[in-house]
């Protein structure tokens, strides 16, 4: 046990059999793509003059942290459960059109997170700062296109259980602003019901006026 996570006793863990089956799959991760209604959220973010991308990263992280299954990871072959997950996101250099991968600690306040994450992105000079920490959610938005499906590069590391979140270019339809949104997860830990919990919780948060 550390201050970041607890180690799971696999002999007495309700998900042990499911985890074992999916962990040995050729490709243990799967991706779900859907649409989110961001009408109210986008209005509030613009009203507060915050970065939409960083605000969305905060919203997803806040909601995903509430679901235990999104906080499981493999470390040195062992299964662990993190107490809190932080963020890492891609950030484009408009001059070079190359992105850097920026880590940023999650906070309790969206305003504070957007400020700190923005400063981290601006101040980081390296494109890559080293191997990704396990205790993160990874974000790689694609705001130039409104997609209906997305796929990702595969590292071949079956124990890489870091969830990956993407979204595309938002658009208007029938009086609403909709956002293509994707989540990739490791099936050893996250089933469809848990993706559903995330999507429902996230949509409720995006609809809320308390941001």
Check pLDDT > 70 for residue 197.
yes
72, 61 in Cβ contact below 8 A?
no
Quick one: pLDDT at residue 178? Answer: 98
- How far apart are alpha carbons 102 and 124 in whole angstroms? 7
Task: Give per-residue pLDDT as tens, 108-164.
Answer: 999 999 999 999 999 999 999 989 999 999 999 999 999 999 998 888 888 999 999
What mean pLDDT do residues 44-65 have? 98
- Structure tokens that stand for 105 in this block: 């600690």
What pLDDT is recorded for position 211?
A: 75
Report helix angle 52-65 to 110-123, nearest 10: 120
Domains, the chain, with CATH or none = 5-24+37-207 (3.30.559.10)
Contact 72, 119 (CB under 8 A): no
Q: Tell me: the pLDDT tens digits for 130-140?
A: 899 999 999 99
CA distance 198 to 87: 16
């Amino acid at each position: 046990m550390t201050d970041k996570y607890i180690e799971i006793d696999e002999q007495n863990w309700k998900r042990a059999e499911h985890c074992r089956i999916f962990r040995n799959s050729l490709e243990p991760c799967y991706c779900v793509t859907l649409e989110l209604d961001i009408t109210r959220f986008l209005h509030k973010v613009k009203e507060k003059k915050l970065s939409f991308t960083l605000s969305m990263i905060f919203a997803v992280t806040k909601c995903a942290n509430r679901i235990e299954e999104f906080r499981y990871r493999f470390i040195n072959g062992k299964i662990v459960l993190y107490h809190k997950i932080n963020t890492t996101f891609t950030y484009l250099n408009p001059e070079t059109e190359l992105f850097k991968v920026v880590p940023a600690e999650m906070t309790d306040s969206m305003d504070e997170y957007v400020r700190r994450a923005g400063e981290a992105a601006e101040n980081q000079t390296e494109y890559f700062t080293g191997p990704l920490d396990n205790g993160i959610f990874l974000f790689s938005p694609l705001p130039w296109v409104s997609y209906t499906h997305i796929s990702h590069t595969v590292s071949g590391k079956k124990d890489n259980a870091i969830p990956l979140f993407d979204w595309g270019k938002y658009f208007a339809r029938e009086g609403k602003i909709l956002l293509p949104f994707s989540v990739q997860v490791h099936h050893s830990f996250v089933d469809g019901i848990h993706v559903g919990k995330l999507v429902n919780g996230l949509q409720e948060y995006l609809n809320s006026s308390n941001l």
